[in-house]
Amino acid sequence: MNVLIIEDEQHAAQRLINLLSETGRDIKVLDTLDSIESSIKWLQENSNPDLIFLDIQLADGLSFAIFDQVEVKSPVIFATAYDEYAIKSFELNSIDYLLKPIKLERLQASLDKFEKLRPTSTPDQISQQLQNMILDYHEKNKSYRSRFLVNKADSMIPISAEDIAYLYTEDKVVFLITRDNRRYMLNYSLDQLEKQLNPVNFFRVNRQFIVAMRSIHKIHNYFNYKLKVELNPASEQEVIVSRQKVAEFKEWLDH
């Protein structure tokens, strides 16, 4: 089995090499690389290895950048210090992942998994899985707006996203209401704001309102299987969760 190791910490790379030699398998380490740049060059100039051990965080950035420059059709086992929750997408779309410091028994289990899946995975399937993993990772880890700069008379003030109670549109103008019931006009549409605000904390209940979790005071059943939301501070308009969003809204509240 020919393997490539991409790891920027020399002691970690050497530890992995030592552990591979202890597995009792016929494994040849083709090379050890420590950067995105050197990895791209190597993969462009050499045949695909049987397996790649890839650290996520390299000295010159996230190793995902490698896949933007070269099509990788080799199975990948990620070696990372990231916690288990943060890398669920790797578990789904790669062969496996190893948490540092790597243990021999865990490495053996990953190699067993690789050998079991190897006959059923084509290079094109592997490439697609890696692309899915990258998209999933970026979606889960993209940054959201932490503050907004709003106009107040002849000055401007920053409003933290944590201080937003809700946002709503009225006569095609969008307003931001703070937790202490101050109102400001924003030069964004609700569609734009929905993408900029963290969905863990904010929910688009209908076409007129985006509400913050902490601003919800009470929820009432409403006719035609809708829900009516009481906000704090109170809204002059009724806030109704559209029927199509009730299930998603409840799941968001109960997450």
Give the model confidence (pLDDT) of 49-61 as tens digits: 999 999 888 888 8
Which neighbouring-strand residues pair with 5?
A: 32, 53
- Mean pLDDT check: name the lowest of 1-5, 124-128, 177-181: 124-128
- With bands split at pLDDT 50, 70 and 90, how would you rate the model's confidence at 220? very high
3 state DSSP class of 95:
coil
* pLDDT at residue 92, rounded to an integer: 46
Over residues 155-172, the pLDDT tens digits come to 889 999 999 999 999 998
- Mean pLDDT check: name the lowest of 79-93, 108-122, 132-146, 176-190: 79-93
* pLDDT at residue 139, rounded to an integer: 63
> Who wins on pLDDT, 241 or 153?
241
Closest C-alpha among 52, 53, 156, 143 to residue 98: 53
The answer on pLDDT for 85 being more than 50 is no
- Return the domain boundaries, the chain: 2-141, 147-253
Report residue 45: phi and psi, to 5°: -105, -5
Supply the mean pLDDT for the chain.
87
The answer on pLDDT for 89 being more than 70 is no
Mean pLDDT, range 220-239, rounded to an integer? 94
Fold of 2-141: Rossmann fold (3.40.50)
Contacting residues for 39 by C-beta, under 8 A, at least 6 apart: 6, 33, 58, 63, 66
DSSP strands (E only) in the chain: 2-6, 28-33, 51-55, 57-58, 61-62, 76-80, 96-99, 147-152, 155-160, 164-170, 173-178, 183-186, 202-204, 209-212, 216-221, 227-231, 239-241
The answer on pLDDT for 140 being more than 70 is no
* pLDDT at residue 93, rounded to an integer: 47
Q: Does domain 147-253 correspond to CATH entry 2.40.50.140?
A: no
Over residues 91-121, the pLDDT tens digits come to 544 677 788 889 999 999 989 988 887 877 7
> Who wins on pLDDT, 87 or 127?
127
Over residues 17-51, the pLDDT tens digits come to 999 999 999 999 999 999 999 999 999 999 999 99
The answer on pLDDT for 135 being more than 80 is no
* pLDDT at residue 194, rounded to an integer: 92
